[in-house]
Each structure stands twice: as C-alpha cells, then as structure tokens.
Amino acid sequence: MDHLLGRKVKHDIINAYGATVLPARTVITSDELAVLINHKISLDSIVIDSTIYEEDTESMAVLKQTVDASKELIESIRSSRKIPVIEIRKEILPVIHHIAMKDNIFHLFEMVRAKDDYTYQHNIGVGVLSTLIGRWMNFSEPELANLSLAATLHDIGKVKIPDEILNKPGKLTDAEYELVKKHTIFGYEMLRETQGISHRIALVALQHHEREDGKGYPLGLLKPKIDPLSSIVAVADIFHAMSSKRPYHDPLPFHEIVSQMQRGRFGELDPRIISLFIENMIRRLIGKQVVLTDGRVGEVVYLNPHQLEAPLIKLEDEFIDLSRERSLQIREILVL
C-alpha cells in the first residue's frame, strides 16, 4: 500500500457505480488511499503514471551507458593496471558535465543514486555531485575539469581490493577494513604514475577519506594539509554513499542524511562546502512533494530561515511546521 504514496494515477479511477473517485494525475496521499479503500477499489488495479520528461529519459539512458562504459574501463584497469585517461576524458567526463547541468537537482540525485552495481555507479555519482558543487563554487572550466576527473577516479585504488570484500554484506573484519582503507594509497600510487594526470588529482584519491579534525585516513591529516578538491569530493562521496543502496545498508531517509551532514561540518568536513551543499539543496525544496516519516505526503511551501531543514508542509487540509512538530521529519523527496 505504501508504495503508492506520492505516485500519480494515470487514468480516472471509477467506482462500481460509474462515479469518478480520483481524476487522472491525482497524487496519492494517505487520504486518497482511504477513499480508494472505502470505495472498494482494488489497489492492484491502479495504473500509475510513470511518464518522465523525454529529456530525463534520454539522460538516464546516456547515464546507464556511461556507467557500463565505466565498468568496462575499470575492469581493463584491474587487469592492465593502466588508467586510460584519454578514454575517460572523452567518454565519461562529457556525460558527467551534462548531468551536473540539470536544473532539478532532485531528479539529478535520483538519477545518480546507486540502486545496484554500487562500485561503478558510485564513481559516476561522485563525479556528478562534485561537479555540481564545483559549479556552485564558481570554478573556472579548467578547475572544473580537474575536479570532475579527480572525483571520477577517487576510488580507483579499489581495483586492488578483492570484490568479495568490497561487496561483503556483513561487517568487515579488522583485517579486511585495514585492507579497504589502503585503496587510498593504491589509488594515489596508480594515478601518480599515470601520464596526463596532475598531482592534485592523485591527491584526491589519497585524501578523500581524510577529515579536518585529523581523524580520517590514511595519514590523519588536519585541515591545512587537505587539498580543497579532496574536501569537495569527501562531501560528494558521503552524500552519495548515504543516499544509495549498498551491500550492507539501504538508502538513509532524507532527514537522516541532512542531519549527519550537518554534524559533519563541526570538525570532520569543510563547513563552507557542507553549508553550500545543504543550503543549495534545501532551498530547492519549495514546491516539492515530500513524504513525511508518518507516511503522509505534502508540499513544501515555506522554509524556516533559522532551521532550513524543518520547513512548513501543506497537507490536504492542514499545515505542519516541522520546526515545531519534532516527531515528524522528511523521509523522502518525491520525483514526479
């Protein structure tokens, strides 16, 4: 039943007496569900409108092809230990830049969110998100090109980690975790030895798990020694990991992602980048349909300037101020 919440019905829904219960294109909320049940409408008979803008359909198809191309390139790197920089620049980066230009960032987030094949989708997702942040920071085109390439290759050292460890559904042993952490060093060494790769791009592979409070790895660096590109990729890496399906956890709810990222700016992550990312994301919530933690669907109509992550939500017959209703939060942004 919950899977219908927030979806649009494709056709008019008619009851047994020929009366229209719900007109076509109605968004199903808990109230609409109650109406359907009262009229004894079979929920299995409801046809959902799955129309997506043609541009999004094309973008998703191109993105899938790019993930497949990335998978082939990574498999070739795994066997040859050589990074085909020219192919990556020609086949992968133009698509990353195109997707990062999308106006609707919640469509963008949904497109790049890994649902399976996490390793390969993650590389592209972090590339897109980092490029998006770079645009928000007004990077020049050469800077943006460097950032996009660095972000796309940030995890390249994982080609030296066995798949059974990377895809292990349960908790890693201490020895397995120590091996996984070495992907940063492996990646740095591979990129440093690759022609056409700048030292800063290699540094991102080394530093994207470093944290400003010195509690990251592999070197425990403090903020002054962390390259700014590494700080951007760290934020994109964390957001994409939390919002994607991984072998050992499902995507986190929206409010939990925002909460964890907010906490990260108090010591772990660059507060300027975190603030920029969260504010640009939250400010685009106006007019969006969201699912609350109690399952109800509503529209964001006003942002609280003192608490952006707790906006005013309009439901069918009431308004809910999430800054006052502490028991309710945003679980999901609907991409309609």
**What pLDDT, on the 0 to 100 scale, is given for residue 53?**
46
pLDDT at 2: 55
Q: Which two tokens stand for residue 317?
A: 């017959």
Task: Tell me if 138 sits within 8 A of 218, measured CB to CB.
Answer: no
How far is Cα 299 from Cα 215, in angstroms, rounded to an integer?
A: 40
Q: Which helix (H) or strand (E) element contains residue 308? A: strand 307-314
Phi, psi of 209 (to 5 degrees): -105, 5
CB-count exposure of residue 198 (10 Å: 0-12, 13-18, 19+):
exposed
pLDDT value for 16 = 81
How far, in Å, are 77, 238, 313 from residue 156 at the CA level?
9, 16, 42
Which residues contact residue 163 at a Cβ distance below 8 angstroms, ignoring those fewer than 6 apart?
A: none
Tell me the pTM.
0.82
pLDDT (0 to 100) of residue 51: 55
Beta partners for residue 13, in sequence order: 22
- Report whether 328 contacts 294 (CB < 8 A): yes
- Residue 38 is predicted with a pLDDT of 87
Instruction: Give the helix/strand (H/E) hosting 130.
Output: helix 118-136
In DSSP notation, 261-276 reads HHHHTTTTS-HHHHHH
Over its length of 336 residues, how does the chain's per-residue pLDDT go in tens digits?
A: 556 766 778 778 888 877 788 877 777 776 778 888 888 888 888 887 765 445 566 777 888 889 899 989 999 999 998 999 999 999 999 999 999 988 788 888 988 988 777 888 999 999 999 999 999 999 999 999 999 999 999 999 999 999 899 988 889 999 999 999 999 999 999 999 999 999 999 999 999 999 999 999 999 999 999 999 999 999 999 999 999 988 778 899 999 999 999 988 878 999 999 999 999 999 999 989 999 999 999 999 999 988 888 999 999 889 999 999 989 999 999 986
Q: Which of 277, 281, 270, 320 is nearest to 297 (CA)?
A: 320
